[in-house]
Amino acid sequence: MAIWGHTADGTAVPIYTLTSGQVEVRVMAYGAHLVSVRAPDRNGKMADVALGFDKLDDYLKVPNPYLGAIVGRYGNRIARGQFTLDGKTYQIPVNNGPNALHGGPKGFDRYVWQSQEVPGGVEFTHVSPDGDMGFPGTLTAHVKYTLTGNTLRIDYSATTDRDTVLNLTNHAYFNLNGDDQGTILNLKMQLDADKFTPVDAGLIPTGELAPVAGTPLDFRKPEIIGARIDDNNEQMKLAGGYDFNFVVNGTPGTLRPAATVVDPENGRKLTVETTQPGVQFYTGNFLDGTFTGRHGVQYTKHMGFCLETQHFPDSPNRPDFPSTELKPGHTFHSTTTFTFSVVK
């Protein structure tokens, strides 16, 4: 552990380095961010494969693109920032056009979490008070990062003292070429998803679960990410690239494959498994060069991809979607693993 810096109010921010095998991961207490991942290619050449900043100060800027952040209390979008729970309507301040995104203007990514070292890693804890960003109930959230072999595992858990809703995820942007090596359009990805949740112009789900078959969202077999990104497809045009929630095949609650991404040139491979019902595949469509990351590189469109394992967007307004409600006396659990290997 080291102190990486301080927030504006003088709070110290610990940063932790996890090493195992050839993978090295850094995580910090501010926003429980995944700061960096160093992984070898097929010739053993190491590179940073997750986008990030050199200094804590860059993470403190608002707004920022959530590079590696834990987003909450409700990751992704809630239509008009509104939902009804137990007959009462709640309003989350909107921060993405008419909608609430990633928990509203001051989400979990903007707090210094408590930290505790655990075998193989670190556990971060954040207590969100009743009424925080409009959400009901005091929510205690834990995010545990552990590294075993080449696998980074993130375990999420949470409890509440009143009925509430939650959706926790990690917003890491990966680039298997290396974080200073241009776009991710050359990477080959496979998604274990037969269906996705189509969206409207505000990227709010219409409620339908639509087959990916016959669309540029069909990654059931490995496909180059950039191959169909400019296709004349109504959903792709609305999102300006990929920015969709895919329904992960299999049974939510069981750890099962969600995605595999391979760099055909250097052999790096990322495998994602999750217990969550969905995964948001996002191709950094909003990165516009405003932010300069590590190695002095300006982050422009498509320089990273996110695989945000999650509950479906706007679930509090969609009784048909897997429920995001949490009640007192129950503990929310989810697990996602990111494995960094190589193909020969």
Q: Which of 33, 171, 302, 311 is catalytic?
A: 171
117 binds ligand GLA (CB under 6 A): no
Give 212 or 287: the residue with its C-beta nearer to ligand GLA. Answer: 287
Give 25 or 203: the residue with its C-beta nearer to ligand GLA. Answer: 203
Cβ–Cβ < 8 Å for 186, 265: yes
Cβ–Cβ < 8 Å for 67, 172: yes
101 binds ligand GLA (CB under 6 A): yes
78 binds ligand GLA (CB under 6 A): no
The least distance separating ligand GLA from the CB of residue 45, rounded to whole angstroms, comes to: 29
Q: Which of 200, 231, 265, 286 binds ligand GLA (CB under 6 A)?
A: 286
278 binds ligand GLA (CB under 6 A): no
User: Does the annotation count 171 as an active-site position?
Assistant: yes
92 binds ligand GLA (CB under 6 A): no
Residue nearest to ligand GLA (CB): 282
DSSP secondary structure letter of residue 56:
H
H or E segment and range at residue 235:
helix 234-239
| Cis peptide bond prior to 162, omega within 30° of 0 | no
- 66 sits in the region (left: phi over 0; alpha: psi -120 to 50; else beta) called left
HEC per residue, 136-148: CCCEEEEEEEEEE
281 binds ligand GLA (CB under 6 A): no
Residues 11-70 that bind ligand GLA (CB under 6 A): 65-66
Residue 277 phi/psi, 5-degree rounding, is -70, -25
Bridge partners of 133, per DSSP, are none
Bridge partners of 31, per DSSP, are none
Instruction: Give the binding-site size for ligand GLA (rule: CB under 6 A).
Output: 11
User: Does the annotation count 302 as an active-site position?
Assistant: no
Q: Say how far apart CA 242 and CA 225 lie, in whole Å.
A: 9
306 binds ligand GLA (CB under 6 A): yes
282 binds ligand GLA (CB under 6 A): yes
Q: What is the CA radius of gyration of the chain?
A: 19
Q: Which of 109, 179, 192, 243 binds ligand GLA (CB under 6 A)?
A: 243
259 binds ligand GLA (CB under 6 A): no
Give 26 or 102: the residue with its C-beta nearer to ligand GLA. Answer: 102
3-state secondary structure of 65: coil
Q: 7 is written with which tokens?
A: 């927030």
The least distance separating ligand GLA from the CB of residue 315, rounded to whole angstroms, comes to: 14
Bridge partners of 331, per DSSP, are none
Q: Say how far apart CA 33 and CA 20 lie, in whole Å.
A: 19
Q: Per CB under 6 A, which region of 105-113, 117-125, 278-286, 322-330 contacts ligand GLA?
A: 278-286
Q: Kindly list the residues in this chain that would bind ligand GLA in the complex (CB under 6 A).
A: 65-66, 76, 101, 203, 243, 280, 282, 286, 306, 308
Q: Active-site positions?
A: 171, 308
